[in-house]
Amino acid sequence: MSTSGLKAISPVPTAADFLDIVLSKTQRKTPTVIHKNFKISRIRNFYMRKVKFTQDSFDEKLSAILEEFPMLDDIHPFLSSLMNVLYDKNHYKLALGQLRTARHLIDQVAKDYVRLLKFGDSLYRCKQLKRAALGRMATIMRRQKDPLAYLEQVRQHISRLPNIDPTARTLLICGYPNVGKSSFINKVTRADVDVQPYAFTTKSLFVGHLDYRYMRWQVIDTPGILDHPLEDMNTIEMQSITALAHLKSCVLYFMDLSEQCGYSIEAQCKLYHSIKPLFANKPTMLVINKIDVTRLDDLSPENRALVEEIINSEGAMHVQVSCYTDEGVMELKNKACDALLEHRVDQKLKGNKINSILNRLHVAQPKARDDLVREPFIPEAIKERKKFDMNDPDRPRLEKDIEAEEGGPGVYNINLRKNYMLANPEWKMDVIPEIMDGKNVADFIDPDILEKLEALEREEEKLQAEGFYDSEEDMFDSDDEREAVEAKVSRQHKLVSQSGKKAMKNQAKLPRTVGLRTITELTSELTKAGLDPSRIQERAERLAKIAGAKRKRQREEEEAEMDVDEDKAAEDEDEWMDVDGEERPTPSKRAKANSGAVITKGKLPRTDRRLGGMRDEAQASKAIKLRDLSHRSRNMQAKAGESDRAIKTKMPKHLFAGKRKMGKTNRR
């Protein structure tokens, strides 16, 4: 858990606001109308509901506060110690404990008064018991004025803390005040820490972030520490001590050899030795800052011996930097990050988890297949490239320079053709046509197209010589083979016809004028083309005679069928007459009654296709009713149009009048 998780705590209301919220909610969410002539059981339930609702509201609010504030024993030791330094652990626990006790007392008060209300014998007695219960609850909450105010101050201060992740890769900067710690974090990160020429400018922890080896690192700037016992340190210094004690990081101890910070070199060395136990199991770097003023070689022998004692005896790496001239700043950042990475890997290798991981790893080592030495190959064009200074007037022109000369970004359009490698450099800017001499140029891009064409022609000549394109009569060796092929083709045609529209989707459509051309037009066009249309005219006359005879025969058959149907209809009407003389519905009448439509005069159909697929007459009549219902006019439904929702009452009284009841109000 990081400090960012502590910033989602909701605001804590004061004791007065707490009472206003809960009591007004009780008044809004519970019924308010009661009469003395109601049954006593109803009166009791009315006031018991008030007391229970008030108790639930207090319990909900207090439980939310207790759950959002973290328990110091359940969070990271760094966060626990930091909250202890900033807010006093005992005071913090006492405030949460008082709220927890208040919640318990309110539950007990509600429980007691609900028991008493069960035996209330009048409206007045029940009302007084309710007032006493709510009054005692309010008294308990008024006593929590100080804990609530304290927790609100804690919440506001936590929200202003920087986001510190105790498990992230961290560079921790420490040292005496005014030795250049904040200047370094401003150089390597985007943090904007205030820098002033006096001590204790930094009074709390500041965090910046940087990227190194495609990983995110956090840099923590701590307030300055003075060399005195731990019990004499104030809250500002204790923040630094807490970070040093609990964060797994690379420690950068800054020293100012010029003594411009106001503290001697001897005092800075003593501070290092006094807080050295906090550096255990952490990579440590001694940073000698402000070398633009004084370097290590410029010190007196006594002071230099003190510094070299730390370097030699402790084994700490040392780097000399100057945040004013940026000398050594990037080197310090790289060394610190590499040291921390190496330390983290060593710690993981010493742990128990590494064994389960190493068992699943296999590093493949390639075996040499011969004794030949294969040195790396570097093209000559790459070797000839030299590093050049951007301010050198003789350096080669870059694409960036051309872009700046021709209008800058958004205006300059790069010429991609200038790097084409062609046989003739003059061809680079030639326009490539798409169509030339009526032919698509893309068809002639292939340089071997002529050879492929010749090979294709030779293959065609070979097929012709072998008789591949002879007539179909010579394709089959026997009549059995011909019959088998014809059966297969007919079977394929049958499958295609059964496959439906999807298979016929790509079939070529006939022109619209295919049936509108007369024999006279066809013969005249054939005559103009130099062809003899006599055979077509004879065939058309023969087909016309056949079609006329066929139509005449169809008319005669239809007339005969109509006579037979009329005789059959008359017989059916006689059969459907009852013995008592009552008329039964004939098939024609039955179809008319079922369909609800009028059948025109003429030949009656053998079956009513509108009722096809129905199981019986009951199912058919039901389908007809549903059809007629869907055809009902819009006016029958009292609608003005298709978009009319028929809202009869714009403001129903039960939604817009009277007191709002318990429950959600999103229905409005």
Domain membership of residue 14 as a residue range:
3-157
Average pLDDT over residues 617-629: 86
Q: How far is CA 298 from CA 257, 295, 301, 305, 332, in A?
A: 9, 5, 9, 12, 21
User: Is it the case that residue 631 has pLDDT exceeding 80?
Assistant: no
**Residue found by looking up tokens 């504030």 in the block:** 69
Residue 403: inside a domain, yes or no?
A: no
Q: Which residue has the higher pLDDT, 45 or 567?
A: 45
Confidence at residue 572, expressed as pLDDT on a 0 to 100 scale: 54
Alpha helices in 119-168 (DSSP H): 123-142, 145-159
Residues 110, 195, single domain; the answer is: no
Please provide the DSSP assignment of 326-373 as one string.
Answer: TBTHHHHHHHHHHHHHHHHHHHHHHSSHHHHHHTT-----PPPSSS--
Task: Measure the CA–CA gap between 301 and 305, rounded to whole angstroms.
Answer: 6
Please provide the DSSP assignment of 377-390 as one string.
Answer: P--HHHHH-----T
Residue type, 515: G
Confidence at residue 581, expressed as pLDDT on a 0 to 100 scale: 46
Cβ atoms of residues 565 and 588 within 8 Å: no
**Residue found by looking up tokens 């960012």 in the block:** 4
Task: Measure the CA–CA gap between 382 and 379, rounded to whole angstroms.
Answer: 5
Confidence at residue 515, expressed as pLDDT on a 0 to 100 scale: 57
Cβ atoms of residues 336 and 302 within 8 Å: no
User: Is it the case that residue 374 has pLDDT exceeding 70?
Assistant: yes
Q: How far is CA 221 from CA 240, 331, 482, in A?
A: 9, 19, 96
200-227 exposure pattern, b = at least 16 Cβ within 10 A, e = fewer: ebbebbbbbebebeeeebbbbbbbbbbb
**Residue found by looking up tokens 């969070």 in the block:** 75
Q: Which residue has the higher pLDDT, 113 or 580?
A: 113
The two structure tokens encoding residue 288: 């000698």
Residue type, 376: P
Residue 319: which CATH number? 3.40.50.300
Confidence at residue 186, expressed as pLDDT on a 0 to 100 scale: 94
User: Is it the case that residue 149 has pLDDT exceeding 90?
Assistant: yes
Q: Which of 351, 374, 390 is the last residue of a domain?
A: 351
Cβ atoms of residues 117 and 130 within 8 Å: yes
Count the helices and strands in the chain (H runs, E runs).
21, 8
41-65 exposure pattern, b = at least 16 Cβ within 10 A, e = fewer: eebbbbbbbbbbbbbbbbbebbeeb
Rounded (to 5) percent helix, strand, coil in the chain: 55, 5, 40
Question: Residue 95 burial by CB count (10 A; 0-12/13-18/19+): exposed, middle or buried?
Answer: buried
Residues 50, 110, single domain; the answer is: yes
- Lowest-pLDDT range of 11-20, 255-264, 415-424: 415-424
Residues 65, 189, single domain; the answer is: no
Element (H, E) at 220: strand 215-221
Residue 502 binned pLDDT confidence (cut-offs 50, 70, 90): low
The two structure tokens encoding residue 224: 């300055």
Confidence at residue 443, expressed as pLDDT on a 0 to 100 scale: 73
Question: Residue 279 burial by CB count (10 A; 0-12/13-18/19+): exposed, middle or buried?
Answer: middle
Question: Pick from 46, 228, 32, 215: which is nearest to 122 by CA?
Answer: 46
Element (H, E) at 63: helix 40-68
| Neighbour tally for 338: CB within 10 Å | 14
Residues 129, 208, single domain; the answer is: no
Residue 583 binned pLDDT confidence (cut-offs 50, 70, 90): very low
User: Is it the case that residue 390 has pLDDT exceeding 50?
Assistant: yes
Average pLDDT over residues 226-236: 91
Confidence at residue 527, expressed as pLDDT on a 0 to 100 scale: 86
Residue 58 binned pLDDT confidence (cut-offs 50, 70, 90): very high
- Lowest-pLDDT range of 91-105, 133-147, 397-411: 397-411
Residue 598 binned pLDDT confidence (cut-offs 50, 70, 90): very low
Residues 16, 68, single domain; the answer is: yes
Average pLDDT over residues 125-153: 97
Residues 60, 119, single domain; the answer is: yes
Residue type, 262: G
Residue 437 binned pLDDT confidence (cut-offs 50, 70, 90): confident
Confidence at residue 474, expressed as pLDDT on a 0 to 100 scale: 54
Confidence at residue 547, expressed as pLDDT on a 0 to 100 scale: 81
Q: Choose from 41-45, 356-360, 404-408, 456-460 the range with maximum mean pLDDT.
A: 41-45
Residue 357: inside a domain, yes or no?
A: no
User: Is it the case that residue 212 has pLDDT exceeding 90?
Assistant: yes
Confidence at residue 578, expressed as pLDDT on a 0 to 100 scale: 44
Output the CA torsion sign for 28, 33, 39, 44: positive
Residues 325, 182, single domain; the answer is: yes
Q: Choose from 201-210, 373-382, 430-439, 488-497 the range with maximum mean pLDDT.
A: 201-210
Looking at every residue in the chain, the average pLDDT score rounds to 83
Element (H, E) at 55: helix 40-68
- Lowest-pLDDT range of 27-36, 544-553, 601-610: 601-610
Residue 80: which CATH number? 1.20.120.1190
Q: Which of 301, 318, 351 is the last residue of a domain?
A: 351
Confidence at residue 576, expressed as pLDDT on a 0 to 100 scale: 45
For residue 77, give every residue at least 6 positions away whose Cβ sits within 8 Å of its Cβ, in sequence order, or none: 246
Helix axes 534-575, 519-528, angle to 10 degrees: 160
Average pLDDT over residues 266-273: 94
Q: Which of 157, 174, 205 is the last residue of a domain?
A: 157
Residue 320 β-bridge partners:
288
Residue 441 binned pLDDT confidence (cut-offs 50, 70, 90): confident
Express each pLDDT in 307-321 by its tens digit.
998 888 766 789 999
Question: Pick from 244, 212, 177, 240: which is nearest to 336 by CA?
Answer: 212
Express each pLDDT in 16-39 by its tens digit.
999 999 999 999 999 999 999 999
User: Is it the case that residue 667 has pLDDT exceeding 60?
Assistant: no
Confidence at residue 645, expressed as pLDDT on a 0 to 100 scale: 67
Residue 68: inside a domain, yes or no?
A: yes
User: Is it the case that residue 64 has pLDDT exceeding 60?
Assistant: yes
Residues 132, 179, single domain; the answer is: no
Confidence at residue 652, expressed as pLDDT on a 0 to 100 scale: 77
Task: Measure the CA–CA gap between 188 and 646, rounded to whole angstroms.
Answer: 69
Percent of the chain scoring above 90 in pLDDT: 45
Q: Which residue has the higher pLDDT, 360 or 507?
A: 360
Confidence at residue 449, expressed as pLDDT on a 0 to 100 scale: 77
Residue 598: inside a domain, yes or no?
A: no
- Lowest-pLDDT range of 33-47, 143-157, 573-587, 653-667: 573-587
Task: Measure the CA–CA gap between 615 and 592, rounded to whole angstroms.
Answer: 18
Residue 104: inside a domain, yes or no?
A: yes
Helix axes 123-142, 15-29, angle to 10 degrees: 150
Residues 17, 71, single domain; the answer is: yes
Residue 221 β-bridge partners:
173, 206
The count of domains in the chain is 2
User: Is it the case that residue 585 has pLDDT exceeding 60?
Assistant: no
Residue 201: inside a domain, yes or no?
A: yes
Q: Is the pTM of this model over 0.85?
A: no
Residues 196, 331, single domain; the answer is: yes
Average pLDDT over residues 108-130: 96
User: Is it the case that residue 275 has pLDDT exceeding 90?
Assistant: yes
User: Is it the case that residue 586 has pLDDT exceeding 60?
Assistant: no
Residues 341, 201, single domain; the answer is: yes
Residues 48, 134, single domain; the answer is: yes
Express each pLDDT in 460-470 by its tens digit.
888 888 877 76
Task: Measure the CA–CA gap between 321 and 295, rounded to whole angstroms.
Answer: 9
Residue 665: inside a domain, yes or no?
A: no
Residue 449: inside a domain, yes or no?
A: no
Residue 577 binned pLDDT confidence (cut-offs 50, 70, 90): very low
Question: Pick from 665, 662, 659, 658: which is nearest to 25 by CA?
Answer: 662
